[in-house]
Structure formats: C-alpha cells, structure tokens
Amino acid sequence: MKLPAAATDGGRLLAFALAHAHVSTWVSSRPITDDDSYVLLERTVPDYNLIHALAGRAVWTVDGVDHVLETGDLVLVPPGVKHHGRSASRHMTIGSIHVLATLPGGQDLFTQLVPARHRHVGADTRLDAILRLASSEFDHGRDAAMVMMPHWGPLVVKELLRHDHAAGILHANPLDPLVIEILAHLERHLAQPLSLSELAKRSGYSPQHLNRRFTAALGLTPLACLSDLRLQRAASLLRDGSLTIAAIGARVGLGDAAYFSRVFRKRFGRTPSDFRAHVGSDQHR
C-alpha cells in the first residue's frame, strides 16, 4: 500500500489535532517593567510556557541557550526544562501563558506536532492578534484574567500550530503507517458505507488489533474517526454554500436526513441548516 507524502501526513495530523485536541490553561502573567529591572530566576514548570514579547526586548535562557526576544518574538519552553529571563530594554512587556495540550488518547500534542522553540510572530498575523487580546485581559485585573485565560488557551495553541505549519517550522513526528493508510482510505471514501471488518480486511489485521492501533495513535477508533471526518467535511461544504444540504449528506455518507441532522447537531451544536445560516450571517457582517 502506498503511503501519503510526509507533508500530507503532517497536514492530516494537524487537522485531527485542531478538531480534537484538549487544551488546559491555568497560570498566566504579564510582567511589565519601565526601568529594565525585570528578572525571572531559574525554574522548571510542569507544563508548556509560551513567552511572548509584547513590547521592548528580553533575553530568555532555555536549557542553557539564550533567546533574544524582540517585540513580536515568542519562545516555547517545554515541561521540565530549566529557564530564566530578564528584560533587555528599559520598557518591556511580556505575555506568559502556561498550557497543556493532549490528543483524545492523552498523548502530549506537542510531542506529535512539535512547534519551533523560537519564532517571530508578525504584527499582521492572526496569532499576534490572539496573543495580544489574551494579554489584554490583564487590563481588567489579574483575577479577571485568570477567569478568561482557560478560554484563550485553546485559541492560542491551535493558532500557534496553524502559524508554524504555514511557516514550515512545525515538525510532525510520524504516525503509525497503518493508521495513516487507513485514514487516507477513509478520506477518499466518505460517501461509501464502510465497516470495521472491511477496514480490518484491508489492513490485514483483526478488527480488535486495528482498533487498538488507532486508539494508541489518536485516541479514537477507525469508525469514530470516520464519523468525525464526515462531519468535518459536511461543515466545510456547508460553509461553501454551493450544494444543498441533502446533497452534502449524500456526499459524506450521511444520506439519512434525520440522522445527519442529529449527529451534526451533537458535534457542532446546530443543525446543518442552522449552521449554514449562522455561517452566512457571519460572512456578511
């Protein structure tokens, strides 16, 4: 069986992560100095720490390597890695967000999709806008910011992955080749009725073994992945707006209108028709 190209594998895993990753955020801060006096003593943390230079200049030492942070630069500090930092200009503002991101099976997302340690985030990017909006929560006080940060964390992590993927600096560790092959088969045959026994026969393994391999890699069974791929494709086609809802259901293997509406609402919180109307109103604002 021919495997997809590595770039396709990374894009497939990224799409899966954007749909299914769980991100938790509980500690954030926004150090500000007007006299070049900020110092963070050496420490390790149990999560990923995103350090973003909002204004001015700083030096962050991560695992013995100095990272000079100009305005817009962001460095990612992994769990358990020694790091410390200091201001390097008279006026400096740093945004700091701590996150943990996992796939449905509990796998560390950043060990599967590995972002760059250090990157510049352009002022015209969506990631920069999200980071600055998240940091602005501190304008309302630390307590208010702590309430809001759990909502910002998933947006920051997912946009960081999109940003680094577009920049070509997101490294995707290889998935189980069997999982990649079956995922590609599912994507090519969304409109067709597919059973676990058929997928197992194609893979050359028992249904139980195929389920175990998928669950170990992604935290979902092949049929659960198929269901989600169908719903994600349906959502994309609804946004496009060129097909009827019935045609979309048929194209993604959900030809029963009542069933399509029920499972779509369970996944996205709206029926297909409500989803299309909502997307259309957003696009015309």
What's residue 40's pLDDT?
A: 95
Each residue of 25-34: pLDDT tens digit? Answer: 877 889 998 9
pTM above 0.75, yes or no: yes
What's residue 9's pLDDT?
A: 64
Closest by CA position to 73, among listed 91, 90, 59? 59
CA distances from 2 to 7, 69, 181, 223 (A): 14, 44, 8, 22
What's residue 1's pLDDT?
A: 31
Domains and CATH numbers, the chain: 6-172 (2.60.120.280), 177-283 (1.10.10.60)
What's residue 103's pLDDT?
A: 87
Stretches where the chain sits below pLDDT 70 are 1-9, 280-285
What's residue 241's pLDDT?
A: 85
